[in-house]
Chains A and B, each alone.
Chain A
């Protein structure tokens, strides 16, 4: 029984992490209809910024996390203004070619600056190890991930559903022409949203270094996971990717624990089954543009 709960806990933590990493992609893909395969590069940037601040400059871990967000968001907005916005109206193939090129460049750049070996972020002692709660092993770091990501998800959902910004964004997505006719500054809105998605990826990258490992090939290695989350979840809301992340996280952990021989296939099998059942993802709009 306790084994089930420990696995459930690990799965939820893993899923939450996937969600923070991938939800920026869901936003750009679903809301802005832009295929950004370089998403992982922003995650990696956040991870490396956090690593340099903590390991080399002695910042406390929790102070470095917001900066991982800010720096990825800043790079995101700079690239959006200079490069990405020219590609919004281009075909998906152009977007894919452009962003995959950007990904390779980021890999080479980080490899050049930081070297190719895997890096770790020095964690405070309070985040290390596990404690027992009624016999269930709870990893401190994973608990922190669940707390941070859980709060973020609630905040995101509130912003999108309840605030003026959220309704403007939804309006701009549904019909950009009508929205700008009503006085909404659509390019600015998109730039801001894009930067926010990149920032979230940066935060996810910093959080994931401990669990997934951080090296220059991060954007390529985990691109597939981000895409799975978005395709399974559907890209029309953030609830979809959130539930998909949890499902995949729990499924992956449980699969590896109970059937280790089949473990690596579980996540892909789940994806195939879900997509056969619902080709637009769990929460996809049937009339997706």
Chain B
């Protein structure tokens, strides 16, 4: 089960894998990034997308920055926090990495937090989405998103657009509860009413009975958060049960219509309105290039996890540029604070206070574009900070 992959993505094949580990003489010229991702298990698509995006970035921008060669060491944690911790320890102690990065799920990011603090090295979170993460260590910085960002926005949007009664269906784990609570907070503050609240178990085989309950509650819309992957099943059963014909809409944060799976979900998903940070259909020149390059290299459409990984490695590059190649962890994290750049998802920045991402949240509707299903953006909430921090 312990799969140890040492991948050297150096443009030159010369840096034969394995040789790197036994070449301490060159250690001062290389910057090592320990990438901990779920490459196996149910979250493997997250890991794959981030890995792909980082590969793509390094192909495009080269593997040297500020006179240092970037070396990525990939470890698989299968999204199990114990393994994350072991992997982080090995990376920090044995491989002497300068950054740890990745983290597919919240428990994984939290497991590595104390190690980042002790070792004083930056932890770049590229996927996990609960608000508390960046509060767990002064060395954590995030380039993905928080569920509060998209859930509060969809709550505001729904109540202003004629949706008064909502039933909620969320997966019963930390991100699901975050999504539910932030949605409820903004939706009810605006005068909306939650008529039915169902939490589904994470390993849930069949949505049928929950959906039947939703249908009988007759809401204007269902607010849904299920982990990427279950979204397809949910949408299929939603249509099978005729909730679409009963006029019950689906709203939620964008995880349910992740670009990764969207195209396989069938026409039932048409018209679903979600709030999210990224759509492969985002109409910017930069994104068009990004999508084209990603498709060419890996044969699939990039999702929001890919873009988070792409921005994560960009942030690492920029921090090194700013420190002039100095690899002191404290200086690096300082250099990351306040960074601003144009990402394929739009303009983003790192909040210097919280080290969390500030980004536009887009309201999108699933539509057919050239025969494929896409999340088409139609409204933008600009520069949304994370609203879920406990310390305000």
Which residues of A are interface residues toward B (Cβ below 8 A)?
3, 6-7, 10, 14, 108, 111, 115-120, 128-130, 137, 139, 141, 210-213, 215, 217, 221-222, 225, 252-257, 260-261, 263-264
Cross-chain contact of B216 among A3, A10, A14 (Cβ < 8 A): A3
Nearest residue in A to B1 (C-beta to C-beta)?
Answer: A104
B282 to chain A, nearest CB (A): 22
Chain A interface, >50% SS class: helix
- What A residues does B69 contact at CB under 8 A? none
**With contacts A118-B229, A120-B236, A141-B240 known, is A257 near B206, CB below 8 A?**
no
Cross-chain contact of B42 among A211, A215, A261 (Cβ < 8 A): A215
- What A residues does B48 contact at CB under 8 A? 115-116
**With contacts A117-B45, A213-B230 known, is A260 near B206, CB below 8 A?**
no
A108 to B3, CA, bound (A): 12
Q: Does B239 contact A (CB under 8 A)?
A: yes
Q: Does B264 contact A (CB under 8 A)?
A: yes
A64 to chain B, nearest CB (A): 17
B-side interface residues, number (CB < 8 Å): 35
- What B residues does A264 contact at CB under 8 A? 201, 204
Which residues of B are interface residues toward A (Cβ below 8 A)?
40-42, 44-45, 48, 198-201, 203-206, 208-210, 212-213, 216, 229-230, 232-233, 236-237, 239-242, 260-261, 264-266
Nearest residue in B to A116 (C-beta to C-beta)?
Answer: B44
B299 to chain A, nearest CB (A): 10
A263 to B260, CA, bound (A): 30
B389 to chain A, nearest CB (A): 29
A selection of 30 A-B contacts at a CB cut-off of 8 Å is: A6-B212, A108-B40, A111-B40, A115-B45, A115-B48, A116-B42, A116-B44, A117-B260, A118-B230, A119-B264, A120-B236, A129-B239, A129-B240, A130-B241, A139-B208, A139-B240, A212-B205, A213-B229, A213-B233, A215-B42, A221-B205, A222-B205, A225-B205, A252-B206, A253-B208, A254-B209, A257-B210, A260-B198, A263-B201, A264-B201
Cross-chain contact of B229 among A10, A139, A215, A261 (Cβ < 8 A): A215
Known: A213-B205, A213-B232. 16 other contacts (CB 8 A): A3-B212, A3-B216, A7-B212, A116-B42, A117-B229, A119-B264, A120-B264, A128-B239, A137-B241, A141-B240, A210-B236, A211-B237, A213-B233, A255-B209, A256-B210, A260-B199
A181 to B204, CA, bound (A): 49
Nearest residue in A to B229 (C-beta to C-beta)?
Answer: A118
- What A residues does B233 contact at CB under 8 A? 118, 212-213
B171 to chain A, nearest CB (A): 11
Report whether A129 and B242 are in contact in the complex, using a CB–CB cutoff of 8 Å.
yes
- What A residues does B210 contact at CB under 8 A? 256-257, 260, 263
- What B residues does A261 contact at CB under 8 A? 199
Cross-chain contact of B266 among A108, A117, A120, A221 (Cβ < 8 A): A120
A242 to B205, CA, bound (A): 19
- What B residues does A128 contact at CB under 8 A? 239-240
Nearest residue in A to B203 (C-beta to C-beta)?
Answer: A221
A218 to chain B, nearest CB (A): 10
Nearest residue in B to A131 (C-beta to C-beta)?
Answer: B242
Cross-chain contact of B208 among A3, A14, A115, A118 (Cβ < 8 A): A14
A245 to B344, CA, bound (A): 49
- What A residues does B204 contact at CB under 8 A? 264
Report whether B205 and A257 are in contact in the complex, using a CB–CB cutoff of 8 Å.
no
A14 to B237, CA, bound (A): 13
A252 to B24, CA, bound (A): 59
Report whether A256 and B266 are in contact in the complex, using a CB–CB cutoff of 8 Å.
no
- What B residues does A116 contact at CB under 8 A? 40, 42, 44-45, 48
B21 to chain A, nearest CB (A): 25
A129 to B48, CA, bound (A): 34
A137 to B232, CA, bound (A): 22
Nearest residue in A to B235 (C-beta to C-beta)?
Answer: A120
A126 to B119, CA, bound (A): 60
- What A residues does B206 contact at CB under 8 A? 14, 211-212, 252-253
A14 to B210, CA, bound (A): 14
Report whether B242 and A118 are in contact in the complex, using a CB–CB cutoff of 8 Å.
no
- What B residues does A211 contact at CB under 8 A? 205-206, 208, 237
- What A residues does B45 contact at CB under 8 A? 115-117
Give the top 10 A-B pairs by smallest Cβ distance, nearest first.
A256-B209, A116-B44, A264-B201, A257-B209, A253-B209, A213-B233, A212-B205, A260-B198, A130-B242, A117-B45
**With contacts A118-B261, A211-B206 known, is A10 near B212, CB below 8 A?**
yes
- What B residues does A14 contact at CB under 8 A? 206, 208
B80 to chain A, nearest CB (A): 13
A130 to chain B, nearest CB (A): 5
Report whether A257 and B212 are in contact in the complex, using a CB–CB cutoff of 8 Å.
yes
A213 to chain B, nearest CB (A): 5
A7 to B264, CA, bound (A): 28
Report whether B42 and A139 are in contact in the complex, using a CB–CB cutoff of 8 Å.
no
Nearest residue in A to B42 (C-beta to C-beta)?
Answer: A217
Report whether B240 and A130 are in contact in the complex, using a CB–CB cutoff of 8 Å.
yes
- What B residues does A130 contact at CB under 8 A? 240-242
Report which residue of A6, A14, A116, A217 has the largest number of chain B beta carbons within 10 angstroms of its beta carbon.
Answer: A116
- What B residues does A225 contact at CB under 8 A? 205
A105 to chain B, nearest CB (A): 12
A121 to chain B, nearest CB (A): 10
A204 to chain B, nearest CB (A): 13
- What A residues does B213 contact at CB under 8 A? 256-257, 260
Report which residue of B198, B199, B200, B208 has the largest number of chain A beta carbons within 10 angstroms of its beta carbon.
Answer: B208
